[in-house]
Amino acid sequence: MKSRFLIVLAAALCCCSCIESSFGIGENLVPGNSIYELKTVEFPLEDVQLKIADSLSGYSTAKVTFGSLIDAEGHLTARTSAIPLVPFYDTLDFGKNPTLRRFYISLVRDTVSVADKGQERILQNVNVYELSERIASNDVNTEPKHGTKRISRGVPVYNGGDSLSFEFTREFGEKYLGITQSDLTDMTKYLERFPGIFLSTEDPVGRGGRLNLFQVQLDVDTDTYAVQGNFAELQFSAEYDGARKDTSFLFYFGPDKFYKIDSLLTKGTVGNLPQYAFNATRQQTTGGKAGDYIFIDGGGGQKPVVSAKEIKEKLWNEIAKYGDPAQAVINKATLIFPFEFPEDYELLDQYPAYLNPTIRVSVPGFVSYAGLTDTSSSTENGGTINRSLGAYMPDISYHIQSLLRTGENAKLSNYDIWLLILRDEIRVLKQAATTSASDIDYLNYMMYYNNIYGGGYGGYGGYGYGGYGYGGYGYGGYGGYGGYGYNSYYNNYMSYALASAYASSSTSNSSKQKETVLDTHRYYNAYLNGPTNAGARPTIRIVYSVPKN
């Protein structure tokens, strides 16, 4: 019994023993210049400008968008769309004495965008005109040139609830009966004679209106190859071998060149064919320095722009209190844009799902925007709306590191941060039987197409910013942030995801693919707190390390 008591007593003494932890062991073995102190600073953003996001790409491989609305505050938002109509085949036989029977178009509904849900099913007259010339601009804020004479039979009326189909006039149809084999030898030559059609609606007289979104991609049953939607059909009769017969030719929307359509459909993925429409935007908003509120418009309208000069000056002065700013390491940098919850919570649906930080890159003849968030990292915030905290908080760590290392003669306006609107979308892909070789071939020309309509500049890294070098931008495209090689939110095809999708199947199947894309189509109406707001104001929070003195 006594021995048992001694054992218990010894155990109690052990439990009560004081064991000290020393975190300094080996400290003298670490070089002094390798010991860093961690600091956190948060300061207000006082210089936030509201600017028009010019030169965003109007090309879209997913949407045909047109319509007009005026919201409760009197803001006008309008969209127009231009669509080239290109025959399925580069060889057409119209026979002898062709006579037009009918020329019509079918557009498959995607969705609608409104300021007032009561406007989702209003009737709108659709204006259909012929383009005066082939689409020559990339800028979403530049409307393509077009005629003023209607080319539709009557005035199409659309209620927002279904697909849209209408017939063209006889005069317009007979023009397409005049396509020659010479026209089909080169796409540029073809579009000079047959540039396509232009779609719009009238602006509302008062409050109300709607934006209409339709699909661009040819809708094909991959089992039967029956065309189901998003096409135009030219029906006519002609003499073949001495007998008059009825026949027709099909047209699809905006391929970048003439393809062998059979090969395209069998080797490619329906839903990601090399097609495009050109959508332009128009807004009645004014820019300037933000005050109590930061108003964010959709399309190519005004967006907040954060001054890089202000950030560098404040951060440099802060770090200089503890060490050499040139030696500092940026661990994390986060923009914080708070907003007040509207009284009607449904109005939050008009706020962007993402406000993504970008820089505007401008060289002679070329303007684009490059994303700053490392989208390959699950810990990086790309500007997702946080409804719990009432704020957008995108991370821009690498960009601030680059900004901090700029020289005295650097043009800091090149580092100004533009917040653009992104959105998650689901795209339905229908894949026919393929082989790995054909998948690779298809991906190659898809990436070539991206270089023309969405990722077109071969690289800006040679100029470099702060030693990082932004590279591979296009109109609305983004090919990487120097050596970090970030993935692109603005690449309409998400080519790497497609490569994976192509490799996954050798039989006909249908799948859904989630994409985060630049959104210039929908209506947005968001108010963030500005630099002079009486409540929470925009700030930047930076965690950094400096060598310990």
Q: How many helices (H) and strands (E) does the chain have?
A: 8, 31
Q: Are residues 74 and 97 in the same domain?
A: yes
529 or 368, greater pLDDT: 529
Task: Give the range among 62-66, 197-201, 426-430, 482-486 with minimum mean pLDDT.
Answer: 482-486
pLDDT-derived band at 8, boundaries 50, 70, 90: low
DSSP 483: G
Q: For helices 397-404 and 308-319, what crossing angle results, to 10°?
A: 70
- Say if residues 80 and 200 touch (Cβ distance below 8 Å): yes
Domain that holds residue 315: 37-53+284-547
Q: What integer pLDDT is reported at residue 473 of this predicted model?
A: 32
Q: Are residues 71 and 101 in the same domain?
A: yes
Q: Are residues 118 and 156 in the same domain?
A: yes
**Alpha-carbon gap, residue 192 to 190, rounded angstroms:** 5
Q: Is residue 438 part of a domain?
A: yes
pLDDT-derived band at 226, boundaries 50, 70, 90: confident
User: Is 6's pLDDT higher than 60?
Assistant: no
> Which of 219, 243, 275 represents a domain boundary (last residue)?
275
User: CB neighbours (10 Å) of residue 544?
Assistant: 26
Q: Is residue 10 part of a domain?
A: no
Task: Give the range among 14-18, 54-58, 194-198, 350-354 with minimum mean pLDDT.
Answer: 14-18
Q: What integer pLDDT is reported at residue 113 of this predicted model?
A: 97
- Report how far Cα 163 is from the mean position of its chain's Cα atoms: 24
Q: Is residue 30 part of a domain?
A: no
| 308 CB-contact burial (10 Å; exposed 0-12 / middle 13-18 / buried 19+) | buried
- Say if residues 65 and 199 touch (Cβ distance below 8 Å): no
**Alpha-carbon gap, residue 500 to 340, rounded angstroms:** 42
> Which of 225, 255, 275 represents a domain boundary (last residue)?
275
pLDDT-derived band at 320, boundaries 50, 70, 90: very high
Q: What integer pLDDT is reported at residue 515 of this predicted model?
A: 82
Q: What integer pLDDT is reported at residue 28 of this predicted model?
A: 63
pLDDT-derived band at 221, boundaries 50, 70, 90: confident
523 or 299, greater pLDDT: 523
| 63 token code pair | 């949407």
Q: Are residues 232 and 348 in the same domain?
A: no
pLDDT in tens, 448-473: 334 333 333 333 333 333 333 333 33
Q: Is residue 17 part of a domain?
A: no
| 347 token code pair | 């109005």
> Which of 275, 294, 321 represents a domain boundary (last residue)?
275
Q: Are residues 248 and 320 in the same domain?
A: no
φ, ψ of residue 464 to 5 degrees: the values are: 70, 150
pTM over 0.85: no
Q: What integer pLDDT is reported at residue 362 of this predicted model?
A: 83
Q: Are residues 354 and 295 in the same domain?
A: yes
Which residues have CB under 8 Å from 118's CB, separation 6+? none
Task: Give the range among 358-362, 376-380, 417-421 with minimum mean pLDDT.
Answer: 376-380
Q: Is residue 468 part of a domain?
A: yes
- Say if residues 74 and 209 touch (Cβ distance below 8 Å): no
Matching residue, tokens 């040679």: 462
pLDDT in tens, 364-400: 777 888 999 876 677 889 999 999 999 999 999 999 9
Comparing CA positions, the residue from 81, 62, 516 lying closest to residue 282 is 81
User: Is 314's pLDDT higher than 50?
Assistant: yes
Number of domain units in the chain = 2
| 418 token code pair | 């533009």
Q: Are residues 312 and 425 in the same domain?
A: yes
Q: Are residues 269 and 373 in the same domain?
A: no
pLDDT-derived band at 141, boundaries 50, 70, 90: confident
**Alpha-carbon gap, residue 244 to 151, rounded angstroms:** 28
Q: Is residue 376 part of a domain?
A: yes
Q: Are residues 184 and 315 in the same domain?
A: no
Comparing CA positions, the residue from 265, 270, 255 lying closest to residue 83 is 255
Largest separation between any pair of C-alpha atoms in the chain? 124
| 182 token code pair | 């010479």
**Alpha-carbon gap, residue 196 to 345, rounded angstroms:** 42
Q: Are residues 463 and 529 in the same domain?
A: yes
Q: Are residues 48 and 66 in the same domain?
A: no
Q: Are residues 224 and 299 in the same domain?
A: no
